[in-house]
Structures are given as structure tokens and as C-alpha cells.
Structure 1
Amino acid sequence: MAVREQVNGVRVGVRYAVADHTGDIGGDWYLTTPLPSGDVMLAVGDVMGHGRAAAATMVQLRAAMTRLALAGDEPGAILAALNRMLCRRPSTTLATAVCGRFRPADHSLTWSRAGHLPILRASATGVSALAQPSGMALGVDPAARYATARVVVDPGDLLLMYTDGVVEQRDQAIDQGVQHLADDVRLAMRGSAPGERLRTALDIARRGNPDDDACLLAAEPV
């Protein structure tokens, strides 16, 4: 499944693939929500496991994040609230997530992460991971806090958020998978016209693990 749209001055594309060898739906999800302020909330998350429980939790987390973002909460506060929600459950449910508020007015991204893989930033000079603010996975410690980071995203740059199904492979460390994704996107940036980079990046990125759901979100200011 591929989706491309423009949201509050941000071009967004998403590629989502379900696991090849399981009939159970997983817990991967994404969010591209326009906010009343003119900003955009971008997020990707992954609930551990497959089946109805994982899918139901995914729906609840996505809905809660949307509600909190529309109410004006910042990324760190949103993740803290989701974490408390999972920690109140009688059984252990773990999830990872990354979310960022993009402000078209100054091209800034304010973001937080909960045990999730780093955001990649692709520009004319290369592809690299953004500095990772501290934040453990959701559902571990109800008192956990989630730091925020801020970066200015120049016109023509791409931001990429993704779940581990995009980069994880059985025979290599996950850091190697992240590097492979960065290499693929670097090729897309080098060989594509400015207006085609997002589409090409989504098309060229290899899928890491066919036995897991995979979600890749790419966003660029317009």
C-alpha cells in the first residue's frame, strides 16, 4: 500500500506492507495529522506482536496521539501520556514510537522518541540520522520521561520515519539495515528531480524483513 498527499505545506508519502507469512495483522502504524495551528504531526509506531490485541492497541495509541496533538500537546508530552496509558494495563504491552511536530512557518521539526529507530534526514549533502533524544519504549515505566529535540529542515530535504520491518534482517545488526536504507535513499536523492525525490525514495527503499509488517513514512517541505 502506498499513499501520497500534501498536508499543511508538507508533501508526505507512506509505504505500508503486511507480513508475507502470517495471517495476523500487526501493530505498525503512522500518522500525518494537520493541526489547527497550521503545523503537521508526523509519527510512526510499532506495537510488539501480531494479532487482534496488537491491532487493537495500535488503534488506541493512534487515536490517543491524534487527540493529544490536536489539543496542542508537544511530542514529549504525547509520548509520556501514551506510556502511562500502556502502563495502566493489567498485562504487559510494549510499543515503540517516534513523533514530530513540523512547523511550516520556520521549517522546524520538534520531535521525541520512545525506544524507536532514529529519523533519517536526506539532503543534497547526504543521508544521516538525527540526534536521538532519550526515551524508553512505551509500557515499561509509568514515570518515564521523553526528551525533545529540534532541527530545521531545509526545502528539498527529506525526513524518513520507519518501523523495524523496513530495516531488520535475520543475518545482520539492525544498524546495518538502517545504513542500507540510508544508502538507498541517497541514490534516490542523487538521481531524481527535486519534485520526484519523495516518490523515488519510497519506491527504491528495500524491505528488510518479509516476515514482519513494515511502514515507511517520508516527508518534505514544499
Structure 2
Amino acid sequence: MTTAVAVNGVRVGVRYAVADTIAGVGGDWFLGIALPGGDVMLAVGDVMGHGPDAAATMLQLRASMTSLALAGDEPGTILTALNRMLCRRGTTVLATAVCGRFRPADRMLVWARAGHLPILRANADGVGPLRQPPGMALGVEPGAAYPHAAVRVEPGELLFMYTDGVVERRDQAIDQGVQGLADDVRAAMRAWPPDERMDRALDGAFDVASDRPWRGNPDDDACLLAAEPVAG
């Protein structure tokens, strides 16, 4: 997905890059899908490592997340199921994820996370992380709980979900990378009209000529998803 598309009244845009350019597939995934009844599922996930094994696990997790979301499960329930699935495999493969169900009818995002980086929200007041509910990485503890958080998201506000390949570098703390992403988004919010802010913010975080994050780790997969409710 290179330009924003409309999904049940939500504009969704994605930038994605893989470390293994030969295989062309990695361990990161995203979802921006319409759900029965008019809701939207937004999600980003990251299987630790890259290459064929990470890609195979990614495909399984993404397919399971899609099926559970379409069946009507809430984000915390989805993460609980994915966690049990990984734990039962008896391997050391771990993954992180964040997923949210957005209801255009009342503009509420209900979301949960599994050891993942915070969602960023951008609006006229600035750019900052949403409050993070607790939730450990997938594949660690079979009985782990994934409680929900909820927030109202208005038209003109942008949400950003991303994997650590977007913000992580060996020479800086990951919090600095998250702040750098927030700075890119803030610059786009100030410099561009509303109908261009999403794509410009996504392009600002990625080197669009090479499909790599400006400040990210070239040895890791990277995924950045943006979403914006549409007025109406």
C-alpha cells in the first residue's frame, strides 16, 4: 500500500520494507481491513528476527488475526488467542503486536498491545503516545492478559502504528527513535494541508527512493501504518 485508501470511513496508509530483499518477505505485518457492521481493524505486528522462519510465523499470525477480527473478536481477545498459539508451538519464537478496532459510528478506538511500541496520535495540540495498556510480548506466558484501552479519535487526527525497524538504531535509545518519528509527523502536520498530511508524514519517515526508514535499522524489517477518520 503506497497511497492512502478509504476503509469504512477511515483513510489508511502504509509504508513497508523488508531486510531480506532477496526473499522479499519479512516478519512484520499490518492490517487495515473493513469489518462486518462498519468497523475497521487496524494492526501492526513484528515477529522477532527475519528470514523464512520469521516470515512463516508472520503469515500464520496475520491470517489468524484477520480471521478472529472478521469473526467479531475484540483486540484483547485476539492477542490472547495469538499468544496461546505461539506458546503451544513450543518454540522460542516471540512477536509483538498492537491492534485496534475503530468504530466510525462514535469514533472510538478500542485497542490492546502485546509488548509493542506506543501508538502515536497527531492533532492540532501536537504529537504524542496514547496511554499504553499492559501486555507482554506474544509467546512468553500462556496465561498472559491483554486488557483494552479506549480513546476517541476525531477527523483530522492521525494515528501511527509502527514496528521497531522504523525507529530503532544501534547508536541511540529506541525512545529517541520514537521521538524522531514524532518530529517527522509534527513537521508534516505543520507544513502540509489536511489532505496531504498523511502521505507526507509517511514519506517523511521513510526514504521513499529506497523504501527504507530514514532513521531505522537497515538490518530489520520495518512497517509504518497511519490512519485518519474521515468527517461525515
Q: Same fold judged by TM-score > 0.5?
A: yes
Count of residue correspondences: 222
SS of the residue 2:92 aligns to: coil
> CA-atom RMSD, angstroms?
1.4
CA–CA separation in structure 1 for the residues paired with 2:5 and 2:222: 19
Name the counterpart of 2:147.
147
Q: Secondary structure at the residue paired with 1:159?
A: strand
d(CA) in 2 for partners of 1:7, 1:24: 26
Q: CA deviation at 1:90?
A: 2.3
> Is residue 2:224 matched to residue 1:213?
no
| Code of the aligned partner of 2:27 | G
The one-letter amino acid of 1:2's match is T
- Letter aligned with residue 17 of structure 1: A
Q: In structure 1, list runs of 5 or more residues that go unmatched.
A: none
1:97 maps onto 2:105 in alignment: no
Q: CA deviation at 1:25?
A: 3.7
What's the TM-score once normalised by structure 1's chain length?
0.96
Structure 1 residue runs of 4 or more that deviate by more than 3 Å after TM superposition: 20-25
TM-score, normalisation: structure 2: 0.92
Answer whether contact 1:24 1:51 (CA < 8 A) is retained: no
Q: Indicate the residue corresponding to 2:84 in structure 1.
A: 84
Q: Percent identity?
A: 74
- Verify the 8 A CA contact 2:184 2:205 in the aligned structure 1: yes
For structure 2, list consecutive stretches of 5 or more residues without a partner in the other structure.
Answer: 207-212
Displacement after TM superposition at 1:23 (Å): 5.5
The superposition leaves residues 91-144 of structure 1 with CA deviations (integer Å, 9 ceiling, x where unpaired) of: 221000000000000111000000000000000110000000000000000000
Question: How far apart, in 2, do the equivalents of 1:27 and 1:193 lie?
Answer: 34
Q: Look up the equivalent residue of 2:34 and give its one-letter code.
A: P
Instruction: Answer whether contact 1:108 1:151 (CA < 8 A) is retained.
Output: yes
Q: Which amino acid aligns with 1:193?
A: P
Measured after TM superposition, the shift of residue 154 of structure 1 is: 1.2
Does the 8 A contact of 1:112 with 1:133 survive in 2? yes
Post-superposition offset of 1:60: 0.5
SS, match of residue 2 in structure 1: coil
Partner residue in 1 for 2:210? none
